[in-house]
Amino acid sequence: MRLFLQLLARLPLPLLHGAGIVLGWAIYWSPGRHRARMRQQIARSGLCASAAECRRLTRRAVGEMGKTFSELPVLWFRPYERVLALVREVRGRDLLDAALAEGHGAILMSPHIGAFELASLCYGARAPVTVLYKPHRRAWVNALQLAGRERGQARLAPATAAGVRTLYKALRRGEAAGILPDQVASKGEGAWAPFFGRPAYTPVLPLTLAQKTGAPLILGVAERLSWGRGYRIHVSRLPAPGEDLGAAAAVLNRAIEDAVRRFPAQYFWSYNRYKRPGGAPPPEPLP
C-alpha cells in the first residue's frame, strides 16, 4: 500500500484534485449517513440564504471532501521539500513568530478545513511540533500515518494520558503542540459550547494546556487553492482562556466558525460534530 501511495504522490496535484471530486461524489452517494449529514449540517448552519444556495454549497463541499482524501498521497509521500513548495503563502506568520518569542511554545490548532494535514507539516519545517493523534486499530494503517505525518520536525503522540504528558513536556521546552480543535471530545474531556447555534461537545485539552503552561492558542487554516495550484495558510491568535472552560470553548468555536465562513466549501461537513459521546452529560439549552 505504501508503494502504491508513493506512486500516486508523483501525479500532478491538479489531476489528484480532479480525481478527488469524483471520489467525493462516490462517497456522497454511497450507503451511509454522509449525504444526509452534509445536507442537514449545511442547511442548519445559517450560511445559506436559500435552499438553492445550500444545494450549491453542498455540491462544492462534496468535491472538496473528496480532495481531502485524494491529496493525502502528495502530503504524506511526496518528497518533503516539494510538499513545502506547494504552500504559496502564509498569512499571519508574524503572529506566530511573536507568540513563539514569548517563550512558552505554542498550541497549534488546525480544524477540519481544507488541507488540515498540512499545517503541522509546514510548521515542522521550521521548529519541533508534537501532534496528538488517534492510533488506528490496524497496524499497517497506523504505520502509514506515522510515515506520512512524522516529517521534518513533526512528531506524533497518541491520544492517551501518556500522549498528553508528552504535549506538556514539549510546551515546557518552548516547542509547539498540535491538536485538532473541532473533533468530538471523549467523555469527561469536553465542554458543551455552541457551534453554528447548536451545542457541540468541544475538546478542552488545548484550553487546559494554555491555562497551565501559558502557551498561546494559534489557529491555522490551510486553504486549498483552486485548480490544484497549492495551498495558502492563514494564521490567527485566540485570546488566552479564562478559568471558565465553557466560555473559553465558546470562544474557540466562534473562531472556527469564522474560518468556516471564509471557506465554507472546504469544511468537512460530513463529520458528525454534534455527536454526544457515551457517558457525557446532556447539553444545556443554549440561550
Q: How many CB atoms lie within 10 A of CB 239?
A: 12
Q: Is residue 16 part of a domain?
A: yes
- Shortest CA distance to 272 belongs to which of 45, 85, 11, 37? 37
Q: How far from chain centre, in Å, is Cα 216? A: 18
Task: Determine the residue type at 32.
Answer: G
Per-residue confidence (pLDDT) for residue 285, from 0 to 100: 72
Q: Is residue 63 part of a domain?
A: yes
Q: Is residue 50 part of a domain?
A: yes
Cβ-count burial 86-120 (b if 16+ within 10 Å, e if not): bbeebebeeebeebbeeebbbbbbbbbbbbbbbbb
DSSP-assigned beta bridge partners for residue 87 = 231
Residue 130: domain span: 2-266
Q: Is the torsion defined by CA of 233, 269, 110, 81 positive or negative? A: negative
Taking only the tens place, the pLDDT of each residue in 139-175 is 999 999 999 999 999 999 999 999 999 999 999 999 9
Q: Is residue 273 part of a domain?
A: no
Q: Is residue 272 part of a domain?
A: no
pTM of the model: 0.94
Q: Among all chains, which residue has been given the C-alpha cell 495551498?
A: 231
Q: Is 243 helix (H, G, I), strand (E, B) or coil?
A: coil
How far apart are the C-alpha atoms of 142 and 122, rounded to whole Å? 21
Q: Among all chains, which residue has been given the C-alpha cell 510546551?
A: 171
* Domains identified in the chain, total number: 1
- Cell reading at 145: 500515518
Q: Is residue 284 part of a domain?
A: no
Q: Label residue 34 by pLDDT band (50, 70, 90).
A: confident
Q: Is residue 224 part of a domain?
A: yes
What's the mean per-residue pLDDT of the chain? Answer: 94
Taking only the tens place, the pLDDT of each residue in 64-94 is 999 999 999 999 999 999 999 999 999 999 9
The answer to whether 118 and 222 are in contact (CB under 8 A) is: yes
Asked whether residue 283 carries a pLDDT value surpassing 90, the answer given is: no
Q: Is residue 285 part of a domain?
A: no
Per-residue confidence (pLDDT) for residue 287, from 0 to 100: 63
Strand pairing of 217-224 and 231-238? antiparallel
